[in-house]
Structure formats: C-alpha cells, structure tokens
C-alpha cells in the first residue's frame, strides 16, 4: 500500500514537473466541482449544474456566494473558465484567488484575480494582486481592461505559483509575471493556500468609495465557472507537509514566460494595463523594491485616473457570509 502510494506521488510530481517546465499549461485534467471544491457560503445562490462541472454563483439582495477548494496547495497551476454577469454591474465583485487568511490571521498570503463591475455597462476591469506573510500594507495591484467582453463567453483565468514566481494568465496569455526577489523578503507567498471563487457586494469597496452601489433591480448577478484545474502539490493541513513539493527539484521550476509569450505579454500590458502600483507615487514615495521603472510606461500610466487605496486588510473566505460589508475599508477607484 505504502509503496503504491509513493509510486503514485512520484508519478504525480513528475507530471507536474512536465507541465510546469513546459511553460504552457495544456491538457490538464479538468475536475468536476465535487472533485475539487466545496460550497463556501451563499446557500442556494451556489448552483452546481447537472453536468457536475459547471457552477453558477449568484449575488442578490440576500447574499453573495462562493466556493473553496477541498485541498490546501503549495505551488501549482490553478485555473477556471469564467463568464461574468452582463449589463449593469456597478459594485459587483467576482474574485478567483488563493489565500490562507483563515489559517494565518496576521501573516497570511494571497494571490488574486478580481473582476470589478462597472457603471459603464459591460466594461469589466481585472485586478491582480499579491500579498505575502501579511504584507497588506503594501498592495501590489495592477489593473487592466480586456481585449474581449468577459460577460459574453467563458474565458480561462489561471495562476501559476512556484517557489520563484507567480504568473497570471488570461486564455493562456501571460498578463503578469511576478518574480520573487531577495529585496521583497517575506512579501512573496510561501505558505500553503486554498483556492476560492466568490461573488459579493463591493459597493463600498470597488466603485469610488460607494458612489456607484450595487443596484438590486438588476439582480441576481450570476457568474459562471467551469473547467476547473487544480494542479498543485496538496498539503495535509494538520501536518503542514507537502505531499509533493515541486520546489525540491530545481528542474521543476519553470524557466518562466517563453520568448513568444513574452512578446504577447508585453503587447497586452502596453495596450491594456491601466494601473500599476509601481507608478503610484501617491501611495509609494519610493516604489516597492521589485519595481523596474520604465519611463514610457510611467508616462502612459500617469494619464489614467488615479486609483486610491484605503488602509486595512481585506477579509476573504468564510467571513463573507457574516458581513458582506467587511471590505468597506479596503480600496476604491
């Protein structure tokens, strides 16, 4: 029994190594909802479709909703196809993220995709962010618009997390490469996390400090999720031991964004990035140490509306169903 378990872990790790080293995540196993996730909050606002592979998360005047992965992971590739609610979505926030905030109150890690609804009808914006070891006083947000309408079809949103970098992908195009540097110290996520997907009322958080609130006349707002990929090293929460740690083998660490992907990534960022913390001189007199300042980018991003961020840490996960206003102190546009 022990031997076959070990053998299967070796096979699993080898597979993970092949996937990560190839730099392009294709053909990964797609899980049914019940194979990888559990209901988190929102009662019947979470609906698993009959195929077992797709989920609707609704927000109405009673509650938002969310789900959480059954396992904790240390590194890996995590993905979902998401179709966002259409039309008027001011104040509606959909999030697909990793966090361990429930286990580490003071020094949690987090990797975020956040979709921010907008008064301008269909124009959703995406935000990515990273926190490490409770670094909530240093937000590392970037914002982008998209080259498609994310409420029209499903699109794939993915996170690659290794010991040395985090890459965010949209439809397998890397949009952000976040490299671990010595100077950022503990600010790089390094403890096991679970995956979350949620929809919630961000009236006080996402639209100019409550200027444009969720309008429940248009409810329910429904975000659709499918094609769940949870391809990481799962960790036993009681032992804090990785069953399979890709970081143990240096070969397992991907070489990063391929040259072809890099051209696409840079094209995306030039065209679609609307905000980067690296150029926010209101928040950071000196940019955080990992920032590489590109004068052209600084000039371009300077012409966008300034984004203001409040103080305080954001509360994710289970706390959502107790108070959907718990994000009130965080940020505004």
Nearer to ligand NAG, 105 or 236 (CB): 105
Min. distance of Cβ 137 from ligand NAG in angstroms?
12
Nearer to ligand NAG, 133 or 164 (CB): 133
Among 7, 9, 147, 186, the residue binding ligand NAG under the rule CB under 6 A is 186
Q: Are strands 55-59 and 308-309 parallel, antiparallel or unpaired?
A: unpaired
Min. distance of Cβ 133 from ligand NAG in angstroms?
4
Decide: is 164 part of the binding site for ligand NAG (CB under 6 A): no
Pull the structure tokens for residue 314: 């954001």
Is residue 213 a contact partner of residue 89, using CB atoms and an 8 Å limit? Answer: no
Nearer to ligand NAG, 182 or 238 (CB): 182
Helix (H) or strand (E) holding 276: strand 273-276
Nearer to ligand NAG, 138 or 298 (CB): 138
How many angstroms separate the CA atoms of 197 and 252, rounded? 28
Nearest to 16 by CA among 241, 191, 199, 253: 253
Nearer to ligand NAG, 130 or 206 (CB): 130
Min. distance of Cβ 122 from ligand NAG in angstroms?
41
Which residue is catalytic, options 114, 152, 177, 290? 114
Point out the residue whose Cβ comes nearest to ligand NAG: 186
Residues 223-282 that bind ligand NAG (CB under 6 A): none
Is residue 213 a contact partner of residue 207, using CB atoms and an 8 Å limit? Answer: yes
How many angstroms separate the CA atoms of 132 and 143, rounded? 19
Which residue is catalytic, options 35, 61, 105, 110? 110
How many angstroms separate the CA atoms of 226 and 54, rounded? 4
Q: Where are the alpha helices (DSSP H) in 53-97?
A: none
Decide: is 181 part of the binding site for ligand NAG (CB under 6 A): no
Decide: is 107 part of the binding site for ligand NAG (CB under 6 A): yes
Give 3-state DSSP helix, strand, coil % of the chain, rounded to 5.
Answer: 25, 35, 45
Q: How far is CA 237 from the centre of its chain?
A: 21
Q: Is 121 left (phi over 0), alpha (psi -120 to 50) or beta?
A: left
Nearer to ligand NAG, 97 or 131 (CB): 131
What x/- string results for residues 190 through 219 when contact with ligand NAG is judged by CB under 6 A?
------------------------------
Min. distance of Cβ 101 from ligand NAG in angstroms?
14
CA dihedral (169, 172, 173, 177) positive or negative: positive
Lookup result for tokens 């905000």: 275
What x/- string results for residues 114 through 153 when contact with ligand NAG is judged by CB under 6 A?
-------------------xx-------------------
Does 110 qualify as catalytic in the annotation? yes
How many angstroms separate the CA atoms of 238 and 256, rounded? 32
How many angstroms separate the CA atoms of 70 and 225, rounded? 16
Tell me the catalytic residues: 110, 114
Interface residues with ligand NAG (CB under 6 A) are: 107, 133-134, 185-186
């Amino acid at each position: 029994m022990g031997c076959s378990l070990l053998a299967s872990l070796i096979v699993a790790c080898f597979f993970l190594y092949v996937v990560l080293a190839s730099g392009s995540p294709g053909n990964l196993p797609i899980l049914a909802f019940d194979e990888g996730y559990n209901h988190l909050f929102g009662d019947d606002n979470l609906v698993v479709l009959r195929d077992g592979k797709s989920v609707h998360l609704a927000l109405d005047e009673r509650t938002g909703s969310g789900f959480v992965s059954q396992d904790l992971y240390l590194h890996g590739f995590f993905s979902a196809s998401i179709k966002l609610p259409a039309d008027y979505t001011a104040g509606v926030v959909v999030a697909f993220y990793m966090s361990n905030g429930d286990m580490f109150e003071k020094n949690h890690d987090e990797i975020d995709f956040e979709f921010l609804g907008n008064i301008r009808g269909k124009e959703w914006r995406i935000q990515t962010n990273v926190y490490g070891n409770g670094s909530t006083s240093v937000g590392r947000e970037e914002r982008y618009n998209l080259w498609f309408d994310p409420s029209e079809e499903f699109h794939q949103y993915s996170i690659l997390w290794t010991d040395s970098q985090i890459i965010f992908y949209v439809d397998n195009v890397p949009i952000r490469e976040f490299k671990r540097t010595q100077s950022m110290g503990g600010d790089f996520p390094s403890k096991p996390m679970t995956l979350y997907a949620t929809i919630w009322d961000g009236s006080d958080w996402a639209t100019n400090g409550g200027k444009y609130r969720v309008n429940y006349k248009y409810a329910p707002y429904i975000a659709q999720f499918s094609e769940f990929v949870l391809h990481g090293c799962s960790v036993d929460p009681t032992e804090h031991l990785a069953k399979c740690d890709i970081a143990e083998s240096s070969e397992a660490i991907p070489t990063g964004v391929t040259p072809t992907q890099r051209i696409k990534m840079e094209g995306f960022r030039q065209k679609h990035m609307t905000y980067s913390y690296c150029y926010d001189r209101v928040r950071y007199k000196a940019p955080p140490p990992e920032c590489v300042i590109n004068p052209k980018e600084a000039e371009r991003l300077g012409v966008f509306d300034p984004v203001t961020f409040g103080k305080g840490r954001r509360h994710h996960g289970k706390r959502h169903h107790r108070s959907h206003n718990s994000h009130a102190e965080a940020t505004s546009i």
